[in-house]
Amino acid sequence: MTLEGARERWVRTGGVELCVAELGDPAQPTVMLVHGYPDSKEVWSEVAARLAGHFHVVLYDVRGHGRSSAPQPLRGGFTLEKLTDDFLAVADAVSPDRPVHLVGHDWGSVQAWEFTTVKRTEGRIASFTSMSGPSLDHFGHWIKKRVSRPTPRRVGQLLGQGAKSWYVYLLHTPVLPELAWRGPLGKQWPKILRRLEKVPGGDYPTPSLPTDAAHGAWLYRDNVRARLRRPRADAYAHAPVQLITPLGDVFLSEKLYDELELWAPQLTRRTLPAKHWVPRTRPDQLAAWITEFVTTTEGGRTTSAATGPYADRFGGQLVLVTGAGSGIGRATAFAFAEAGARVVAVDRDAESAARTAELSRLIGAPQAWAETVDVSDEQAMEKLAEKVAAEYGVVDVLVNNAGIGLSGSFLDTTSEDWRNVLDVNLWGVIHGCRLFGKQMAERGQGGHIVNTASAAAYLPSRTLPAYSTSKAAVLMLSECLRAELAGQGIGVTAICPGFINTNITSTARFTGVDAVEEKRRQKKSARLYGLRNYPPEKVAEAVLRAVVRNQAVVPVTAEARGGRLMSRFTPRALRAIARMEPPL
């Protein structure tokens, strides 16, 4: 058994007996998890365990799967009408008085779309969370529209999804799929899942897999052709829908959902960088989104407060930003807050970190905390990592941004100066990556690390030798770490901004000059950066975009992009520029 502590019961309906498992307190709202193909209810074991603390969680084996019995004969026994009967029978048994919150994956989601869009279930469904399984009726209309009024783009989308559906055609051939599943494919499947889908091993899939897969072929044969040819015209959802789209799904194109708002007016969209089997690979994220959606619909609200760009991706995620008390770090914290993320604002300046956290809460972060830590202090960083993991969870996005400026020729730079700048700019990043990267890797559910390097990382100069060295190290560290963590679904990005109008110029140290001259240079460089007037908010936008697209190195501002091109193609010109005295 992979569903620990589950209570079991059997529900008889339409000539079959369904195996139903329940977890959690029955007095709480009921969340019903419907599995897909080729699976049994155990596919949900990780998600169910996480939901059981808040909800009455109900799972059942779809007819012909797991320990539920199969209809006789098989042909015609798996129509969506019969599957709807099953759902109503289970719902009436486990939650007779209150509507249930449906969650479906793959074919479980295809079925649940039917449940959510037919008249006879109205009032029995409180909400529906769909992942990787469209409504066949919506799909039918989607195809019709593209066939009847083809534009190059529409034809492309059609061919794209057509290519992803190869297995659907195979499943329509008689007998062969059954033979394959009961034979070699059934044996190889766990390995295939591990290798291609990155599904962790353990007690999943269950031994019933070959029969599940063989019976389940009738799900396709009984429904797909009929519905795609004659899709229902009234397939409107009568409950709020949350659509979770894994962007790396090799079976379904996200374009399928382009016009979903027409069918499901109360729609919340979520995306995550993952493959098809998200209940196995991303249980934390799913449990968090389901919990939030169920809780808000129970509370009578349907839309979340966050409205910023990428709210579909970052809503509810835990984001930690260092140097969040000012400039780029603060703007980045705000941008994530607007996308609905939970924000940990870290800075060595307590007051400014608190301010960032407070404003983050006002613009969309469901929760935000301030932590006063010096990133160069190894012990303090270790304490922070422990506290964050224990109290807020594993960080989904880490932004190592804290940094200080140091200007002055190499010969004027003391070893003390060197130590200071390397301690913050390089060691701060190392500590962050080491501690939080380790937690991400151990959790095994992906994540992203952003390190703020600088255009100075690839632009030599006679004025910023120490600063540029620290940033070049950060750039290379990011590239190496990216290679190492790619296999675990953790992305790493180095951001390389040019001249950004922040406080850094007023706090930067200038070596080799007296205090008065230092003040003058700080003022002067602040003026110059002010004239350039590139706002940190735009760097923050680039940070979010880079995470969504998993970009490796992102120069921000025209001078940073131009410099990067020059460093590749005309390095000698850059060396000549490096010898010039700056206008300070």
Partner 1 sequence: MQREWLRERGVRDWFHLPFAWFGDRTAFVDFRIPLQFFPTNRRLEAGMPFILDMAPVYKGFTADIGYSGSLGPNPLQDRLLADLEAHRELILREVRERRPLREIYQDVDRLMVRQGYANRHRAYPFGVIAHKVDRVKERRWSPHLFGFGTQSLKGLASDAVHGHRDGWSPLWSPYRFSDHPPRPGLWAVEPHLGFRGTGAKFEEILVVTDSEDPEQSAFWLDDDLPHVRRWAEDK
Ligand X SMILES: NC(=O)c1ccc[n+]([C@@H]2O[C@H](COP(=O)([O-])OP(=O)(O)OC[C@H]3O[C@@H](n4cnc5c(N)ncnc54)[C@H](O)[C@@H]3O)[C@@H](O)[C@H]2O)c1
Choice from 161, 285, 326, 525 touching ligand X (CB under 6 A): 326
8 A C-beta contact, residue 472 and residue 459: no
Region near ligand X per CB under 6 A, out of 145-153, 201-209, 285-293, 395-403? 395-403
Closest CA to 553 of 467, 453, 432, 464: 453
85 binds, among partner 1, ligand X, none (CB under 5 to 8 A by kind): none
Cis-peptide, bond into residue 26, ω within 30° of zero: no
Rg of the chain over Cα atoms, rounded to whole angstroms, equals 27
Choice from 404, 430, 542, 544 touching ligand X (CB under 6 A): 404
Catalytic residues: 467
SS3 state of residue 414: coil
Name the H helices within 136-202: 136-148, 152-164, 166-172, 176-182, 184-197
Rounded Cα distance, 260 and 257, in Å: 5
* Residue 328 is a binding residue for ligand X (CB under 6 A): yes
Category of 446 on φ-ψ map: left (φ > 0), alpha (ψ -120 to 50) or beta:
left
24 binds, among ligand X, partner 1, none (CB under 5 to 8 A by kind): none
348 binds, among ligand X, partner 1, none (CB under 5 to 8 A by kind): ligand X
**With respect to ligand X, which residue has the nearer C-beta, 6 or 542?**
542
* Residue 51 is a binding residue for ligand X (CB under 6 A): no
Residue 561 CB, nearest distance to ligand X (Å)?
A: 13
Residue 352 CB, nearest distance to partner 1 (Å)?
A: 7
Say if strands 509-510 and 125-131 run parallel, antiparallel, or are unpaired: unpaired
Residue 308 CB, nearest distance to partner 1 (Å)?
A: 9
* Residue 478 is a binding residue for ligand X (CB under 6 A): no
SS3 state of residue 460: coil
Element (H, E) at 57: strand 56-60
220 binds, among ligand X, partner 1, none (CB under 5 to 8 A by kind): none
* Residue 375 is a binding residue for ligand X (CB under 6 A): yes
Q: What are phi and psi of 351, to 5 degrees?
A: -65, -45
SS3 state of residue 6: coil
Choice from 283, 323, 364, 447 touching ligand X (CB under 6 A): 323
**With respect to ligand X, which residue has the nearer C-beta, 371 or 396?**
371
* Residue 374 is a binding residue for ligand X (CB under 6 A): yes
Rounded Cα distance, 210 and 179, in Å: 9
8 A C-beta contact, residue 315 and residue 341: yes
* Residue 500 is a binding residue for ligand X (CB under 6 A): yes
Of the chain, the end-to-end C-alpha distance in Å amounts to 71
Choice from 348, 482, 521, 564 touching ligand X (CB under 6 A): 348
362 binds, among ligand X, partner 1, none (CB under 5 to 8 A by kind): partner 1
* Residue 497 is a binding residue for ligand X (CB under 6 A): yes
* Residue 205 is a binding residue for ligand X (CB under 6 A): no
Question: What tokens appear for 49 in the block?
Answer: 């365990």
* Residue 349 is a binding residue for ligand X (CB under 6 A): yes
Q: Within 13 A of 435's CA, how many CA atoms are on the CB side?
A: 25
Which residues bind to partner 1, rule: CB under 8 A?
326, 330, 334, 338, 352, 355-356, 358-359, 362-363, 503
334 binds, among ligand X, partner 1, none (CB under 5 to 8 A by kind): partner 1
Q: What is the distance, to the nearest Å, from the Cα of residue 474 to the centroid of all Cα atoms in its chain?
A: 25
Interface ranges with ligand X (CB under 6 A): 322-323, 325-329, 347-349, 352, 374-376, 401-404, 424, 428, 452, 454, 497, 499-500, 502-504, 507, 536
